[in-house]
């Protein structure tokens, strides 16, 4: 039953009709039909006065006296789409004519006879009260959703959070698209979990676009704003709810229209369209990295998002803000700048943003493995240029190993972890994930007291010396190990003569009680220096 209505069965149960001893003569399987209104009348042509969905009360004066007239009367009501016909027996018809009952059965129209006289005005009043109460309950549900959406926005959420909340309320996927049909964001219901295979809204969208047809019963709400088209009433975007997991009701349409008003304010204020699209792509890439997608479906879903690489390898890339934080009002500018800068990279790129983690995941399409370095240089340069346009510090960019769709998720996950663990400046404009495995391992151990104890045990005397004495010796050790023990190169980097360098290395060896020529000692020192970046 639609919210905001009552069924024929519920109407027959109201006290005023129960007193008439109602008996269902025909159409018993249609008692769940919704009743939109109650009407009482005796005119032979009353069907022309009805709109459909009415419960019609009559004493039979308009039925006619001949069977042909009676059948035509019933058929006209059925064609009009009324909910049910209720005939009060009495002076006009002591018993219901067989032609009326036969016609109702043939049309599938619920037909009820009343064995006792009832005041029709009392029936109308009681049923209309039930309808008003049901409609009020519908409005309260829509108002509750509107209130929750407002609370989400006031609590710092944005359009994606509102769409996810609405998808959960409707139990069906929700899409935000531009007037020309470009998908900005897709959200699916969280509870109860949809059936496997139908859960991902991108698959739903791809299937509908492939068949060039929507679903009947969908709810579409226009979001007004300064979008394409003349005048202030132009449509900025459209919110579409598709009845994939269950039918949609009037309450969903009312709530969607109210939510559209909120979304219009947010989009007008922040001009979030590109950020929304980037966040949708970021959700897809994160789901791929965390194994929440069926890999076999990933290429088709990526095409929905505009990513069409060739048959060559994929290159996972992750950018992280230098301090791990990006002001919320900077994401829209960053997303727009990223899209513009990466358009000139010369390779297919799927770029997303992830606000919770403050990072930007990407997949780059390559023609062949040998393109990795050149493509990474161009993509990293575009990422840094976009960050500069958005007015925040140079980001950390990590480039993963080349991958297929089957391994791209693991590559993105590894690159994301390495982007957090990366310490120190890279050799190029980007970090090669293959050179960060030790940092990732140490970063995973950062919360263990053993790592800090290891740093103190290996480097403690040297750190204590540098805290109180000059010159500091730690930079000398770092340069020495970075040059793999080659003293001439170390001296040149530090601008020291050979003897001064030898003296400093001797002091370091004595302070630490170790031989800087011993490979095991050098390994421990190198690990301790890298671990120190993670434990502070």
Tell me: do 361 and 464 sit in the same domain: no
- Give pLDDT, residue 326: 57
Residue 308's alpha-carbon distances to 304, 347, 348, 363, 366, in angstroms, are: 9, 10, 7, 11, 11
Tell me: do 485 and 438 sit in the same domain: no
Handedness of CA 389, 395, 399, 404 (dihedral sign): negative
How far apart CA 200 and CA 197 sit, in angstroms, is: 7
- Give pLDDT, residue 148: 86
Q: What is the pLDDT of residues 78-111, one digit of tens each?
A: 999 999 999 999 888 899 999 999 999 999 999 9
- Give pLDDT, residue 191: 62
Please indicate, yes or no, if residue 459 is contained in any of the structural domains: yes
Tell me: do 180 and 49 sit in the same domain: no
Closest CA to 261 of 228, 231, 236, 230: 236
Of the residues 419, 443, 467, the one at which a domain ends: 443
How far apart CA 91 and CA 103 sit, in angstroms, is: 22
Q: What is the pLDDT of residues 258-278, one digit of tens each?
A: 888 888 877 766 556 677 788
Handedness of CA 20, 25, 30, 32 (dihedral sign): positive
- Give pLDDT, residue 375: 94
- Give pLDDT, residue 135: 67
How far apart CA 58 and CA 39 sit, in angstroms, is: 9
Please indicate, yes or no, if residue 485 is contained in any of the structural domains: yes
Please indicate, yes or no, if residue 140 is contained in any of the structural domains: no
Residue 349's alpha-carbon distances to 195, 343, 363, 365, 445, in angstroms, are: 32, 8, 6, 6, 33
Residue 332's alpha-carbon distances to 101, 144, 274, 275, 487, in angstroms, are: 66, 29, 7, 5, 50
CB of 355 within 8 A of CB of 331? yes
- Give pLDDT, residue 452: 84
What's the distance, CA 50 to chain centroid?
A: 44
Mean of the per-residue pLDDT values of the chain: 85
CATH number for the domain spanning 98: value is: 3.40.1390.20
- Give pLDDT, residue 199: 57
User: 24, exposed or middle or buried, with CB in 10 Å at 0-12, 13-18, 19+?
Assistant: middle
How far apart CA 491 and CA 478 sit, in angstroms, is: 12
Q: Does the pLDDT value for residue 68 go beyond 70?
A: yes
Tell me: do 80 and 219 sit in the same domain: no
Half-sphere exposure of 457 (CA within 13 A, CB side): 9
Name, in order, each residue with C-beta under 8 angstroms of 53's C-beta and a sequence gap of 6 or more.
5, 34, 35, 36, 37, 81, 82, 83
Domain of 512? 447-535
Average pLDDT over residues 302-323: 89
Q: Does the pLDDT value for residue 228 go beyond 60?
A: no
Please indicate, yes or no, if residue 39 is contained in any of the structural domains: yes
Of the residues 237, 270, 303, the one at which a domain ends: 270
Name which residue leads in pLDDT, 4 or 349.
349
Worst-scoring range by mean pLDDT, 160-164, 419-423, 490-494? Answer: 419-423
Tell me: do 315 and 401 sit in the same domain: yes
Helices (H) and strands (E) in the chain, counts: 19, 16
Q: What is the pLDDT of residues 152-169, one digit of tens each?
A: 888 877 788 889 888 988
Q: What is the pLDDT of residues 128-147, one digit of tens each?
A: 887 777 767 767 877 888 88
Percentage of residues in the chain with pLDDT exceeding 70?
90
Q: What DSSP state is assigned to residue 237?
A: E
Please indicate, yes or no, if residue 162 is contained in any of the structural domains: yes
CATH number for the domain spanning 336: value is: 3.30.70.100
Name, in order, each residue with C-beta under 8 angstroms of 536's C-beta and a sequence gap of 6 or more.
none
Tell me: do 329 and 435 sit in the same domain: yes
Closest CA to 5 of 140, 137, 135: 135
Please indicate, yes or no, if residue 138 is contained in any of the structural domains: no
Please indicate, yes or no, if residue 361 is contained in any of the structural domains: yes
Average pLDDT over residues 457-471: 90
Q: What is the pLDDT of residues 159-202, one digit of tens each?
A: 888 898 889 888 889 999 888 888 888 888 876 554 444 557 88
Tell me: do 254 and 335 sit in the same domain: no
CB of 117 within 8 A of CB of 22? no
pTM (2 d.p.): 0.59
Tell me: do 486 and 520 sit in the same domain: yes
Q: Which residue is it, tokens 């930079």?
A: 475
CB of 352 within 8 A of CB of 284? yes
Closest CA to 316 of 183, 413, 392: 413
Q: Which residue is it, tokens 């009324």?
A: 82
Tell me: do 414 and 526 sit in the same domain: no
Residue 111's alpha-carbon distances to 7, 29, 33, 281, 463, in angstroms, are: 14, 11, 12, 55, 94
Name which residue leads in pLDDT, 298 or 212.
298
- Give pLDDT, residue 272: 64
Tell me: do 294 and 347 sit in the same domain: yes
CATH number for the domain spanning 531: value is: 1.10.10.2840
How far apart CA 245 and CA 170 sit, in angstroms, is: 9
CATH number for the domain spanning 176: value is: 3.30.450
Please indicate, yes or no, if residue 390 is contained in any of the structural domains: yes
Of the residues 443, 468, 485, the one at which a domain ends: 443
Give me the number of domains the chain comprises: 4
Name which residue leads in pLDDT, 534 or 349.
349
Tell me: do 301 and 399 sit in the same domain: yes
Tell me: do 386 and 517 sit in the same domain: no
């Amino acid at each position: 039953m639609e919210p905001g209505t009552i069924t024929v069965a519920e109407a027959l149960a109201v006290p005023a009709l129960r007193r008439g001893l109602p008996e269902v003569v025909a159409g018993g399987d249609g008692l769940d039909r919704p009743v939109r209104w109650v009407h009482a009348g005796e005119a032979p042509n009353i069907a022309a006065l009805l709109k459909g969905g009415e419960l019609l009360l009559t004493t039979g004066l308009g039925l006619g006296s001949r069977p042909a007239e009676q059948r035509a009367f019933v058929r006209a009501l059925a064609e009009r789409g009324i909910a049910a016909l209720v005939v009060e027996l009495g002076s006009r018809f002591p018993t219901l004519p067989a032609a009326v009952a036969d016609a109702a059965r043939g049309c599938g129209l619920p037909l009820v006879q009343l064995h006792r006289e009832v005041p029709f005005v009392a029936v109308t009043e009681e049923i209309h009260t039930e309808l008003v109460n049901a409609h009020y309950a519908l409005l309260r549900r829509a108002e509750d959703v509107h209130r929750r959406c407002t609370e989400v926005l006031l609590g710092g959420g944005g359009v994606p959070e509102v769409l996810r909340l609405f998808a959960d309320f409707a139990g069906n996927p929700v899409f935000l698209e531009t007037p020309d049909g470009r998908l900005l964001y897709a959200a699916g219901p969280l509870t109860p979990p949809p059936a496997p295979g139908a859960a991902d809204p991108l698959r739903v969208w791809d299937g509908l676009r492939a068949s060039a047809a929507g679903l009947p019963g969908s709810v579409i709400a226009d979001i007004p704003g300064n979008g394409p088209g003349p005048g202030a009433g132009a449509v900025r975007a459209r919110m579409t709810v598709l009845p994939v997991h269950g039918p949609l009701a009037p309450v969903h349409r009312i709530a969607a229209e109210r939510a559209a008003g909120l979304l219009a304010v947010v989009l007008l204020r922040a001009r979030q369209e590109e950020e929304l699209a980037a966040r949708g792509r970021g959700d897809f890439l994160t789901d791929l990295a965390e194994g929440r997608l069926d890999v076999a479906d990933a290429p088709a879903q990526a095409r929905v998002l505009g990513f069409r690489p060739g048959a060559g390898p994929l290159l996972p890339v992750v950018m992280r803000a230098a301090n791990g934080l990006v002001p919320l009002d900077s994401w829209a500018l960053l997303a727009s700048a990223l899209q513009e800068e990466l358009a000139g990279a010369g390779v297919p790129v799927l770029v997303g943003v992830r606000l919770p983690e403050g990072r930007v995941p990407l997949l780059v399409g390559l023609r062949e493995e040998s393109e990795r370095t050149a493509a990474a240089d161009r993509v990293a340069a575009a990422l840094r240029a976009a960050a500069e346009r958005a007015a925040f510090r140079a980001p950390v960019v990590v480039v993963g190993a080349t991958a297929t769709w089957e391994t791209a998720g693991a590559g993105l996950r590894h690159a994301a972890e390495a982007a957090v663990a990366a310490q120190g400046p890279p050799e190029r404009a980007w970090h090669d994930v293959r050179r960060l495995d030790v940092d990732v391992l140490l970063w995973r151990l950062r919360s263990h007291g053993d790592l800090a104890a290891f740093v103190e045990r290996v480097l403690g005397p040297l750190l204590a010396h540098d805290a109180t004495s000059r010159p500091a010796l730690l930079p000398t050790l770092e340069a020495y190990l970075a040059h793999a023990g080659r003293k001439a190169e170390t001296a040149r980097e530090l601008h020291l003569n050979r003897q001064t360098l030898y003296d400093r290395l001797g002091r370091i060896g004595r302070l630490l009680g170790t031989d800087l020529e011993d490979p095991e000692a050098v390994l421990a020192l190198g690990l301790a220096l890298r671990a120190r970046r993670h434990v502070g």
